[in-house]
Amino acid sequence: MLHSLRRLGCYTAALLAFCASNTWAESALTSVEMKWLRAGWPVLTYAEQQGLPIDIIAQPQAKPGDVPLAMGFDNGRCKLVLSMRGNPDAETMLANIPAAEVNAVIEAVTAHEVAHCWRYVHGVWHTLPSGFVEGSADLTNNLELAKQQQEMRATRREEGFADLVGLAWTSREHPDQYANVHAWFEQIRKSQPVAGSYHDTRVWVALAKDRAAFAAAATPFEQVQKLWDRGLLSEE
| DSSP state letters, 118-159 | HHHHTT-TT-PPTT--PPPPPS-S-HHHHHHHHHHHHHHHHH
What are the distances in angstroms from CA 191 to CA 101, 109, 160, 185, 199?
A: 21, 17, 15, 10, 10
Q: Is 227 helix (H, G, I), strand (E, B) or coil?
A: helix
Q: Which of 233, 39, 2 is nearest to 116 (CA)?
A: 2
Q: Which residues have a Cβ under 8 Å from the Cβ of 176 and sit 6 or more positions away?
A: none
Q: What is the DSSP letter of 226?
A: H
Residues of the chain with pLDDT below 70 are 1-27, 135-141, 145-146, 192-198, 236
What digits encode the pLDDT tens for the residues 136-151?
Answer: 555 556 777 667 778 8
The predicted structure's pLDDT at residue 24: 38
As a whole number of angstroms, the distance between CA 6 and CA 10 comes to 10
User: Is there a contact between 85 and 59 (Cβ–Cβ < 8 Å)?
Assistant: yes
The predicted structure's pLDDT at residue 210: 97
The predicted structure's pLDDT at residue 234: 81
Q: How many CA atoms lie within 13 A of 149 on its CB side?
A: 13
Question: What spatial distance separates the first Cα and last Cα of the chain, rounded to whole Å?
Answer: 22
Burial of 60: CB neighbours in 10 Å, binned 0-12, 13-18, 19+ = exposed
The predicted structure's pLDDT at residue 21: 42
| Whole-prediction pTM | 0.86
Q: Which residues have a Cβ under 8 Å from the Cβ of 168 and sit 6 or more positions away?
A: 111, 208, 214, 220, 223, 224
Calculate the dihedral angle through the C-alpha atoms of 68, 73, 76, 78, rounding to the nearest 10 degrees: 20
